[in-house]
Amino acid sequence: MLNTTGMSFWVKSKYYYNKYKIAYYFILPTMIAMILMHLFPIVQGLYMSFLRLNNFTLNQYLGAPFVGFDNFYDVMFNPSSPMRIGIYDAVRNTIIYSFLVTIGQTAVGMIVALMLSNEFKGRGLVRTLFMFSWIVPTYVTGILWGFMFQQSIGIINIILVDWLHLLAQKPFWLVGVNSIWAIIIPTIWRFWPFSMLMLLAGIQNVPQSLYDAAKIDGAGKWKTFWKITWPMLSPVWMILVLFGMIYNTYSFNIVIMMFGNGAGFPGKWGDLMMTNIFRNSFMRWDFGAGAATSVLLLLVMIVIVNFWYKHYKKTEEIF
């Protein structure tokens, strides 16, 4: 490689450009797309969180009145702001939802992956059939489970109450406290096969010699799992948990389509951050507050991801 010390910036740039010309050409389209559709909107979005941007000032674009941190204050503390109403419900629900769904989908995925890691006839087909719930579009998942969760005509209540007699009377799933379960269960149902797929690939990559050694040492199944499989899979499940956390916090489709099939309000126990922001932005036309809430959400997410990333880096190099 050329010793570049002492060269002027332009000479250096020219040298690198000539050497990696094709690489720069290759990333150019992606760069343009990302600058236009990622960088541009993000910078604008950050700026918009400081603007009073609603249906009256929408036409002024970035010239809307600058209000400093008013939007942030409104969202978090101002009891008379309509944006503040329900935001803590949404925060609480999002924490519960994101936490339980991530754990749930990883756990179910792990259990099924372990079962599928044994050889048996028709294993490929069974895996494919398991994957089907992951292929169902999320908006269909919302509609479908919303339909199944109906109080009197839903099949879930018919099975639980009329057939199995597990409950005395048919509960309301889409109203009240139960709705948190009504959004968690379908999300796990929709996303666990992806975790399973990744974990299964990971399990099949664990060297058999480790299991043989454990067997010789007299370790049981339980112990083998926790001492060998689980640590060996940590790069897989850690990335799954990380991405699961991010995606579930930003979950939107299933919840919005489940309540009134996209026309209703998810209620005190079904509202998530994304549905809350979406409602306030595009139904109440308060874009400034919506942008401010998303900025807050992003800040929290950066902290979580940063924390997780540091932890992850100890296990495996990501780049």
Partner 1 sequence: MFKINYYQKEKLLRNFFLVLMFAFLIINSFPIFWMMFSSFKNNNDILSGKVGFSRAKNDVIGMEIAGKDLYAFSQDGGIAKYDVDSKRSIGGVKINGRDVNYYIDQDYIYLANSTKGLYKIDRRSLIVKAKASNPVTGVDTNRLGNTSIIAYDDLVVFTIELEGMNKIFIYDKKDLTLKRTVRLNTEHSSFIRSLYVDGDKLYIGTNKYILVFNKSTFIEEKRIDLGENYYPAGVQKIKQIKGNELILLVQNGLYFINLNKAEVERRKDYGVNLFEDILIEGEKLFIVSPTGLRIVNMNTEKLYLDSNNLVRELKDGVIVDPKSNYTSGEATNLIANGDELIIGSSYGRISFMKDLKAKPYYSLQLPLGHRLVMVENYADLWKNIDFGLYLRNSIIISGFTMLFAMILATLASYALVRFNFPGNKAFGVSILATQMIPQIMYLIPIFIMFKWISDVSGVSIQGTHGGLTFIYTAFFVPFSIWILRSFFASIPVELEESARVDGCNAFQVFWKITLPLAIPGIVATGIYIFLQAWDELMFAWILTDSDTLTIPIGIRLFVGNYQNRYDLMMAAATVATLPVLLLFFLLQKHIVKGLTAGAVKG
3-class secondary-structure state, position 51: strand
Q: Measured from the CB atom, is 80 or 222 closer to partner 1?
A: 222
User: Would the CA dihedral through 274, 49, 85, 59 be positive or negative?
Assistant: negative
What gap in Å lies between CA 303 and CA 309, rounded to an integer? 10
User: Whole-number minimum distance, CB 168 to partner 1, in Å?
Assistant: 17
Taking CB atoms within 8 Å and a gap of at least 24, the contacts of 271-280 are: 271/86, 271/89, 271/90, 271/93, 272/90, 272/93, 272/94, 272/97, 272/183, 273/90, 273/91, 273/94, 273/249, 273/297, 274/250, 275/90, 276/86, 276/87, 276/90, 278/252, 280/82, 280/83
User: Whole-number minimum distance, CB 50 to partner 1, in Å?
Assistant: 13
Q: Measured from the CB atom, is 179 or 294 closer to partner 1?
A: 294
How is residue 46 written in tokens? 């950050």
User: Whole-number minimum distance, CB 310 to partner 1, in Å?
Assistant: 15
Q: Measured from the CB atom, is 80 or 118 closer to partner 1?
A: 118
What gap in Å lies between CA 258 and CA 145, rounded to an integer? 7
User: Whole-number minimum distance, CB 83 to partner 1, in Å?
Assistant: 14
User: Whole-number minimum distance, CB 131 to partner 1, in Å?
Assistant: 7
User: Whole-number minimum distance, CB 202 to partner 1, in Å?
Assistant: 5
3-class secondary-structure state, position 266: coil
Q: Measured from the CB atom, is 79 or 215 closer to partner 1?
A: 215
User: Whole-number minimum distance, CB 280 to partner 1, in Å?
Assistant: 10
User: Whole-number minimum distance, CB 115 to partner 1, in Å?
Assistant: 5
What gap in Å lies between CA 71 and CA 277, rounded to an integer? 13
Q: Measured from the CB atom, is 79 or 206 closer to partner 1?
A: 206
Phi-psi region of 165 (alpha: psi -120 to 50; beta: other; left: phi over 0): left
Q: Measured from the CB atom, is 8 or 59 closer to partner 1?
A: 59
The H or E element that residue 23 is part of is helix 21-34
Q: Measured from the CB atom, is 146 or 267 closer to partner 1?
A: 146
Q: Quick check: 118 and 134 in contact, CB under 8 A?
A: no
3-class secondary-structure state, position 187: helix
Q: Measured from the CB atom, is 205 or 223 closer to partner 1?
A: 205
